[in-house]
């Protein structure tokens, strides 16, 4: 993660930002447009709808996108020609800001502060001093003059954090305490379309042997006792058609649901996580979507009376597999984990533009953002890129993030994650 100068140490030029609002008074001429300025939020470029302008030597930057990306709600009040912005400060405390066109005084939680520049209106946008706003809401901002780039780092935020615990994760069992939920990858769909506790496919998803006094059952009990949620995760791949076979054969479908229900209930798992991959590649995508929807509906009906959740890890909508109906699945499932990776080399950091696109497509289906978690593959990411992905999750207001997997976190990655996000409830 790039460490940025705090707002108190800015260059003398005052940075400002704008929010798209109705036309109003005090328009600034478009002739004052400054050379192209790029805004980078959490190391990822932030597209903005209004070109920056230069007014009396002060660079003015678009704000609505910045506000939304920081989780801040800004409202234009026509009667007073003012902006009211509500969000959270760096410490998570509630913050309310009032700024008025033409006035060089603003308030943060009813305390008055002097501004270096008064808010103005330009091209349907109200421009607000970014230094003041960032100081109020805890973002760190720096100005890179030669690159004509504003760099913004969002403050640490609470979000749902889920860790996948598979074979090889035992060395980092203690990291389960940093997660709101843990998904134990201990079952798979075998080539016969049946739920298996042994590794019959070579994917290494199987019920593990005890490690000394630690048994699979005791590990789940420990996670539950520490206040984290526990999922039984089941991997199903369709490389040889075994997944579609299970989904469409009534006998296999009924048997698999009965088995998963019993395993979850008997071993005190709070939920079932379906990691069903490859649908829509061999078969008609619409048929695959229908089969998966029917399976999830039947599974939810079976386990819900026992208070067992159902969530899914799903391929991204900008990937190769089209057998996933996000809109329908989101209505039935508790959460969807977007596996936005494997774009080319899966051992290198994944392209932020593709991850951003995957999130946009997921939201466009109407799936509630609170139900969406961004999966981050630590086989591919590193300490300089993992915060990019977390920043995208925050930018889009997602419910949280999921990490593949415990057992491969480096100390540097843990530190980068900790600066960016923390689990809900601390």
Domain ranges of the chain: 7-153, 157-423
pLDDT at 272 over 90: yes
What is 157-423's CATH topology? Answer: TIM Barrel (3.20.20)
pLDDT at 67: 87
Query: Within 10 A of 272 (CB to CB), how many other CB atoms are there?
Result: 27
Query: Within 10 A of 177 (CB to CB), how many other CB atoms are there?
Result: 13
Binned at pLDDT 50, 70 and 90, residue 312 comes out as: very high
pLDDT at 179: 99
pLDDT at 9: 32
Binned at pLDDT 50, 70 and 90, residue 126 comes out as: confident
pLDDT at 283 over 60: yes
Binned at pLDDT 50, 70 and 90, residue 36 comes out as: confident
Mean pLDDT computed over 130-154:
87
Binned at pLDDT 50, 70 and 90, residue 162 comes out as: very high
pLDDT at 226 over 60: yes
pLDDT at 163: 99
pLDDT at 32: 46
Q: What angle do CA 22, 36, 29 make, to 5 degrees?
A: 45
* More confident of the two residues 120 and 348: 348
* Cα dihedral 386/392/395/401 (nearest 10): -70
pLDDT at 56: 75
* More confident of the two residues 83 and 37: 83
The label of the residue with tokens 């309310």 reads 96
The label of the residue with tokens 């109200």 reads 126
pLDDT at 235 over 90: yes
pLDDT at 254 over 80: yes
pLDDT at 77 over 70: yes
First to last CA, the chain: 22
Separation between Cα atoms, residue 254 and residue 105, nearest integer Å = 66
pLDDT at 121: 84
Mean pLDDT computed over 237-262:
98
192: its two tokens: 């016969």
Separation between Cα atoms, residue 104 and residue 82, nearest integer Å = 12
pLDDT at 2 over 60: no
Relative to beta strand 16-20, strand 38-41 is: unpaired
Separation between Cα atoms, residue 63 and residue 130, nearest integer Å = 8
Most confident region among 58-67, 69-78, 137-146, 295-304 by mean pLDDT: 295-304
**Among 140, 13, 146, residue whose Cα is nearest residue 66:** 140
Superfamily (CATH H level) for 7-153: Copper amine oxidase-like, N-terminal domain (3.30.457.10)
Separation between Cα atoms, residue 219 and residue 372, nearest integer Å = 26
pLDDT at 124: 78
pLDDT at 109: 96
- Of 27-41, 179-193, 391-405, least confident by mean pLDDT is 27-41
* More confident of the two residues 172 and 4: 172
pLDDT at 14: 35
- CB–CB of 126/18 below 8 Å? yes
- CB–CB of 87/71 below 8 Å? yes
pLDDT at 35: 60
* More confident of the two residues 125 and 4: 125
pLDDT at 3: 26
Separation between Cα atoms, residue 4 and residue 15, nearest integer Å = 15
Mean pLDDT computed over 304-311:
99
Separation between Cα atoms, residue 403 and residue 410, nearest integer Å = 13
Q: What's the mean pLDDT when you consider all of the chain? A: 90
- CB–CB of 310/274 below 8 Å? yes
């Amino acid at each position: 993660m790039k460490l940025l100068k705090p707002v108190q140490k800015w260059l003398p030029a005052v940075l400002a930002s704008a929010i798209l609002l109705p036309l109003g008074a005090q328009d600034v001429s478009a002739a004052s447009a400054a050379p192209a300025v790029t805004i980078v939020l959490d190391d990822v470029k932030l597209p903005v709808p209004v070109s920056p302008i230069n007014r009396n030597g002060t660079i003015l930057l678009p704000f609505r996108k910045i506000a939304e990306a920081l989780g801040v709600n800004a409202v234009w009040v026509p009667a007073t020609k003012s902006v009211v912005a509500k969000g959270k400060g760096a410490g998570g405390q509630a913050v309310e800001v009032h700024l008025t066109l033409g006035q060089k005084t603003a308030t943060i939680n009813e305390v008055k502060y002097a501004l270096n520049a008064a808010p103005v209106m330009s091209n349907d946008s109200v421009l607000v001093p970014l230094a003041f706003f960032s100081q109020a809401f805890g973002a760190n901002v720096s100005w890179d003059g030669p690159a004509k780039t504003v760099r913004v780092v969002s403050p640490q935020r609470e979000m749902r954090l889920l860790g996948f615990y598979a074979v090889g994760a035992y060395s980092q069992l203690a990291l389960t305490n940093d997660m709101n939920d843990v998904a134990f990858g201990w079952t798979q769909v075998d080539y016969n379309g049946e739920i298996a506790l042994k590794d019959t496919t070579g994917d290494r998803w199987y019920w593990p042997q005890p490690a000394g006094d630690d048994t699979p059952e005791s590990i789940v009990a420990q996670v539950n006792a520490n206040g984290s949620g526990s999922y039984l995760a089941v991997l199903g791949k369709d490389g040889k058609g075994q997944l579609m076979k299970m989904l469409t054969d009534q006998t296999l479908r009924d048997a698999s649901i009965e088995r998963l229900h019993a395993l979850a209930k008997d071993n005190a798992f709070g939920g079932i996580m379906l990691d069903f991959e490859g649908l829509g590649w061999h078969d008609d995508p619409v048929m695959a979507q229908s089969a998966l929807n029917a399976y999830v509906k039947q599974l939810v009906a079976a386990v819900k009376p026992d208070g067992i959740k159902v969530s899914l890890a799903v391929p991204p909508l900008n990937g190769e597999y089209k057998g996933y109906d996000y809109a329908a699945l989101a209505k039935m499932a508790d959460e969807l984990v977007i596996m936005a990776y494997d774009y080319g080399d899966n051992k290198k950091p994944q392209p932020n533009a593709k991850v951003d696109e995957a999130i946009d497509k997921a939201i466009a289906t109407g799936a509630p953002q609170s139900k969406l978690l961004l999966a981050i593959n630590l086989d591919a990411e590193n300490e300089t890129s993992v915060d990019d992905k977390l920043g995208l999750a925050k930018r889009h207001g997602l419910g949280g993030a999921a990490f593949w997997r415990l057992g491969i976190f480096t100390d540097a990655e843990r530190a980068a994650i900790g600066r960016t996000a923390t689990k809900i409830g601390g």
